[in-house]
Every structure is written in C-alpha cells, then in structure tokens.
Amino acid sequence: MIAFIISFLTTCMAMPFLLSYCKKNHYYDSNISYRKVHKGNIPRLGGVLFFPCAAVGLLGFMYFTPEAWMSETMLKYYNETGNMLNEKFPLHISTLLLVPGAFVIYLVGIVDDFLDVSARHKFIIQFVVALAMPFSNLYINNLGGLFGLTNIPVAVAYPLTVFGILLIVNAINLIDGIDGLASGLSIISFLGFAYVFNQSNLPIFTNLSFALIGTVLGFFLFNYFGTEKKGTKIFMGDGGSLFLGYCLAYFALKEAMENPYIAVYDENAFTISLILLFVPIADLIRVAFERILNHQSIFKADKTHLHHRLMDTGLSMHAAMAVILLLQAAICLLGWTCLNILQLGATITIILIIVVFILFNIGVYSLRKNKE
C-alpha cells in the first residue's frame, strides 16, 4: 500500500503541472491522421510521469520498510554465489539493467512524442535494449511443458527471449489507441504479476508492481475522466506505452525463467506470463498475420486492431475499452481456473484461451458485417 499510495498521489499531484506545461508550449497530439479517434487539442505526454513517479513510490516503500523488501531466497542465493553489490543491497545484474533499459525505452518514446521517430528506427533501438536481458542472464529457459516443450537450449532461448521482449513492448505500444485501454490492460497485468511475485516471496518486485499500478491508475483517471474543455484530459504517448511494455516484458521474463536460487519455480510460470499479457500479444500477432497475408508491411499503420474493430460494430470508444478489459480479465480467470482448480495443464489451458480469443474475434467480425 505504501508503494501504491505514494506513486498514485505523486502522479495526481504532478499531472496538473504537466497539463499546464503542455498547454503553454502547445504540445498536443496530432489528430489529422485517419487512425485517430479523438478530436481537439489534447496533450500526449502523460507517460512522462510513469518512470519518476513509480521510482518515487518504490523508493518510498524501501525507505519506510527496509526490513520487508529483501527475501530469504534472494539472500540465500547471493550468499551462496557471492553475486552481490554489498551486504545491504544484493541485486542481480539483470535487475540493475532494468533501470537503464527502461530509461532508454522511456527516452525513445518521449523523443518520438516530440519528433515522430519512424517505426523502423524505434524497432532498432528496442532490439538493442532487448539484447541486454538475455546477456545479463535473464531469459526464457523452460516452457513448463507447453506443447510438450520444457527445457530449451541457450541457442534457442536467447533469440526467443529477444523476440518475446519486442513482442510485448510493441503489443502495449500499438494497443494504445483509445482512452484507458493500454493503461487498463497494464493495471490488470501488473496486478497479476504482483500476486505471483508475492507468492514467490519477491517483495521488491511485488512492490514495484504496485508502484507502477499507482502511477498508471493516476494517469488513467485523467485520461478516462478528463475533458478537453476543462483542460484535464491527457494521452499516454509513446514514452508511457513503451516504458510500460518494457516493464511488463521484464516481469514476464522474471516470472517465466526457472531459477531456483531466486524463487521456487512454478512449472506453469511461462504460461502464467503469457496469460497475463494474452490480449495485447494475440491482437498484435493477428494484425501482423493479416498484413502479411495482404502483402503489406508489418510496420504499416492502419485501423485493424481489436479496439478499431469493436468501434466499427457501433460501440463507443469507452464501451470498446470496457469490452477488451473484460476479455483480458475473463482470460486471466479462465487460465487460473484451468491451471489451479481443474489442473488441465499448460497446453490445454492455452488452447482453450486461444479458442476463446478466436471465437471472440469471429463474433466481432460478424457484428461488423451485420452493421455494414
């Protein structure tokens, strides 16, 4: 609660100053593209607050509860391996690389918000930053029996990890097309990761999750309930969406990697990470395949994402957002039920979730056709 409250209040107090700054300097989101669903002059730098406000929340937690943020399993690992900075602050190099990696992604997004960096250039920078994780010994090394696959060799694990990071970062970035969608999906995912990190006795990551939830929720209130007339509405921008995507990618790897020195391994860890990010990932894969089948560049901007398709059925922007958030929540509930109550295993669980997603898209397609 300390991390959440501090980051939430910091974001809410800082947002009016950011709105005033954007208004004074005319930093507004362009609405001339046919893909835009909003009208009027609305700032798009809301994500600028994510990095500093989440950091303030996490540091506040560490300051007020110094005895709570280091787990026994972490201490055991660092005492056995000697891989530590000092006795009071033992963090693995992969954890330390989260900060500069997230900061680089954050800066690239902010620069894009001001100068409109091309998709290809952004992708190259994302690729370079993504390489830091596997080379700091954080990578996907066990699929937990998903489709019959368990331990995978490093030669496969490294490129698979980089691909997964790029997939998650761009999935969050590209689904940020309507009010509250990327932030709402991120909150659901961070809540899920907070739960699994807490179950694994990793308090530093549990509280980092809640610090991120606090700052994203603070932004959500201005993004969803704010109005242009009152000057209280703001968009996330690429600075925010890329940063959230990178953090979620890091959390997904932290959960999925089998490392018994850090936490007791759950054989469904990889599947859990996939479930918590399923809707944005599946939507990006669907859109990419559609573009390939239509002989179009996967970097081409269009209106084929799920929120666009839902709005084509006649739903309002806010209704489309609510439907997608409910879909992700339902998938998380289905996954938890299949894995923990029915004990169906990773493969059957993912197949059932894929079937649900396909049926949902078929239903949306039918509604669009009927409307036309």
pLDDT per residue as tens digits for the range 138-151: 889 889 889 888 88
Mean of the per-residue pLDDT values of the chain: 86
Q: What's residue 71's pLDDT?
A: 54
Q: How buried is 149 (Cβ within 10 angstroms: 0-12 exposed, 13-18 middle, 19+ buried)?
A: middle
Distances (CA, A) of 158 to 155, 239, 247, 266, 292: 6, 26, 18, 21, 25
Max mean pLDDT among 24-28, 117-121, 218-222, 265-269 falls in 218-222
Say yes or no to pLDDT of 248 above 50: yes
Say yes or no to pLDDT of 86 above 70: no
Q: pLDDT by residue (tens digit) across 314-330?
A: 999 999 999 999 999 99
pTM above 0.85, yes or no: yes
Lowest mean pLDDT among 39-48, 72-81, 210-219: 72-81
Pick the more confident residue, 232 or 102: 232
Place of tokens 């669980």: 349
Q: pLDDT by residue (tens digit) across 323-349?
A: 999 999 999 999 999 999 999 999 999
Mean pLDDT of 95-122: 81
Q: What's residue 28's pLDDT?
A: 81
Of the pLDDT bands very low, low, confident and very high (cuts 50, 70, 90), residue 67 is low
Question: Could you give the 3-state DSSP secondary structure of residue 148?
Answer: coil
Max mean pLDDT among 125-129, 130-134, 350-354 falls in 350-354
Question: Could you give the 3-state DSSP secondary structure of residue 144?
Answer: strand
Of the pLDDT bands very low, low, confident and very high (cuts 50, 70, 90), residue 264 is low
